[in-house]
Structure 1
Amino acid sequence: MLSVYGRYWQEQVKAYAKADTKGTDLRKYATKDALGRSIGDALSLKQAGNIMRGAPRSDADVTSINLDKKIPSAVIKDCLDVSGWETVESKSGKVLPFADDALTRYETIATAEKWGAQWLITKVEPQERGC
């Protein structure tokens, strides 16, 4: 399931690099809130005339798993480092700085569910605390 979480982030990086989820495999790795959030973020980037360059670094662990439910689920805790993932103006190439109070390393809690043979990321919640 951690491999699915990693692929989710790889596909999200691809989407944000062009401010569009079309042509990515996000739907293979995410659904529900996680997919909706990625689509919405890509749309926001596009509307603002921005893209993302670089990639976040992840340090994720499965903190709980429940295989006895009708739909097995798991919780993934991550310390996400976005310091190397820059917002860039599409036309000018100008890097937009992080806000002074922005966390560049923060805890993220993700939920995954097993649909058939495939684990999918269903929710990703950035926390307002560093790690």
Structure 2
Amino acid sequence: MKATTPTATLTDCMDISQWQTYSIRKHEVIPMPTNQPLRYLATAKAERWNGQWLITAFTPHGDQSC
């Protein structure tokens, strides 16, 4: 018997425009680099194990805006 693990590939738009990086040492928000894209595509690969979908890989595509 051969069993095949169900797989899926998902693509979504990552929107990090409201994200902040905070310096605990300096007690301040660190600004994002000016060349940092704030919305870009991301791909996730998933597999179904024991009735649950598990993400096995996540790839941001900073060069592809959305």
TM-score, normalization: structure 2? 0.86
1:126 aligns with 2:60: yes
Alignment deviations for residues 15-47 of structure 1 (CA, whole Å, 9 cap, x no partner): xxxxxxxxxxxxxxxxxxxxxxxxxxxxxxxxx
TM-score, normalization: structure 1? 0.46
How far apart are residue 92 of structure 1 and its match? Answer: 2.6
| Aligned counterparts of 2:35 and 2:50: Cα–Cα separation in 1 | 42
Segments of structure 1 that go 5 or more residues without pairing to the other structure are 1-68
User: Would you say how many aligned residue pairs link Structure 1 and Structure 2?
Assistant: 63
Moved over 3 A (4+): none
Identical columns (%): 37
Segments of structure 2 that go 5 or more residues without pairing to the other structure are none
Greater RCO structure (CA 8 Å; 6+ sep): 2
| Aligned counterparts of 1:93 and 1:83: Cα–Cα separation in 2 | 21
Higher helix share: 1
How far apart are residue 93 of structure 1 and its match? Answer: 2.3
